Structure 1
């Protein structure tokens, strides 16, 4: 499969929320036929067909698709919400795909870097060990294992913390005076702009021979305290106060070498580019 084949591809995007819509806009712009799955369909974006399907309710009856993206997000942060998305809904979709007379040529599962539980501040990549440190992480890793066992031609994109949809909690915490910095060693923050996350998905769908796993993270892991100070300076706000906090349960830097080696290039390779664009779009000061 090559980029030149993209006009013949039909793509199913399961989980047509913010990230799914960004992916859909990119793919329709490339001339692909895109169908989005979501539980409720209120409005239909131009160029995209939407289907009202609750994957958690049972195995759906779906037409054949050339490629499939699963990027559904949990309704909340509790274990039940993660289980409903990454085990129940995802499992039902895999069952539906396996039953198709013509299985998809590629299935891309979006999960999270949450599985890396290292806490020494070191670097992690696709070959670093992961572990189910809580039920939510267990569901994410279970979803990846389900894809491997399915026999479908699949790959996984583990995304770091997403930003870029409105002001977001980090900037709000600064503006509202709620932000604080932890005293002591660096506490590393890993992130990716939502537009780059969507672009990474579209890029991986177009690769002829992708690896089974990629990390979706920008090129600049940043100490959280330094990030807060720089953003506060842009906003012409005082630096957040320093406080004593317990050691973090997780503290690692995520490496994106494999994604870059595949030919992907970031619009926002670091937080400075991403947050300056975000502030400019929202009329904020920088």
Structure 2
């Protein structure tokens, strides 16, 4: 059997990390982004703009076994989200149609923002999706575009991604970040290596003939209150001062479950924030 091929549309940080992992497993990887010079070595560049309806001149001619859509919005308003997640996906699907390409499966990288729960409830793939803001609402519309594409689709709702280069919380803690303690504000996170690992795991499982569900949540094993995370980081970093600002409580509080992905055999490398942040701080 020949090596499977994948087109990663929106091949930025997460997409490039996924590309590298799949290349190491023998996959043929095409990466679509504006500046293909920034793609990892070995990725076949597709120089294109998701926001432009014109098909890229370097679009792959042969079979495309898998499509991973993992774009990131450049403008963080509703129009920007619509352009990145709905219009961009529609353009890619049109380009596939132009070449008569029907992938085995589409992985659409979505977000846990589609869940608007605010009272610390446990959330899984069957929980109601009542998004609280425009980002979640747009993501739900984009998920529907993926489902209606005519390609078997799996939606992967990633939670807060952290890792090397994604260290905003660490910066806040070093500055004495204050958070509300009661009621607890539950947050969900996944190390970038585990986010990529889950996407690769699903692709490889499908290639082996494993039946996939239509939705998976990408999260570690232990959603925790933000106060618990900040407290642990303060102790680890030796931070003793507090900022003068009053305690902050962000909107939303839920605990996401990864039971469905783990039932399929996926195991996160970093089961909680403790292992993940320790690896960052130790340079691993």
8 Å CA contact 1:164, 1:278 repeated in 2? yes
- Paired position in structure 2 for 1:199: 197
8 Å CA contact 2:22, 2:29 repeated in 1? yes
- Paired position in structure 1 for 2:226: 224
8 Å CA contact 2:117, 2:252 repeated in 1? yes
Deviation at 1:120, TM superposition (A): 1.3
Aligned to 1:150, the other structure's residue is in SS state coil
**1:185-226 Cα deviation digits (max 9, x unpaired):** 110010000000001000001222110100000011011011
Distance 1:264 1:91, change over 3 A: same
- Separation of aligned partners in 1, 2:241 and 2:153: 45
Deviation at 1:240, TM superposition (A): 4.3
> Is 1:34 aligned to residue 33 of structure 2?
no
- Separation of aligned partners in 1, 2:271 and 2:77: 31
CA RMSD of aligned residues (A): 1.8
Aligned to 1:281, the other structure's residue is in SS state coil
- Separation of aligned partners in 1, 2:165 and 2:6: 27
Q: Which runs of 5+ in 2 are unaligned?
A: none
Aligned equivalent of 1:214, options 213, 216, 238:
216
> Is 1:46 aligned to residue 45 of structure 2?
no
Distance 1:44 1:227, change over 3 A: closer
Matches within 5 A, 1:46-125: 46-60=41-55, 62=59, 63=61, 64-125=63-124
8 Å CA contact 1:190, 1:221 repeated in 2? yes
Deviation at 1:47, TM superposition (A): 1.4
Moved more, 184-193 or 129-138: 129-138
- Paired position in structure 1 for 2:19: 24
Deviation at 1:75, TM superposition (A): 1.3
Aligned length: 275
- Paired position in structure 1 for 2:132: 133
8 Å CA contact 2:120, 2:186 repeated in 1? yes
- Separation of aligned partners in 1, 2:81 and 2:101: 30
Deviation at 1:72, TM superposition (A): 0.9
Distance 1:132 1:122, change over 3 A: closer
Q: What TM-score, normalized by structure 2, do the two folds share? A: 0.91
- Paired position in structure 1 for 2:171: 172
- Paired position in structure 2 for 1:185: 183
- Paired position in structure 2 for 1:8: 3
Q: Which runs of 5+ in 1 are unaligned?
A: none
Moved over 6 A (4+): none
8 Å CA contact 1:110, 1:158 repeated in 2? yes
Distance 1:181 1:74, change over 3 A: same
**1:208-258 Cα deviation digits (max 9, x unpaired):** 211010000001101101100100100011264694556x53111000000
- Paired position in structure 2 for 1:155: 154
Distance 1:236 1:67, change over 3 A: same
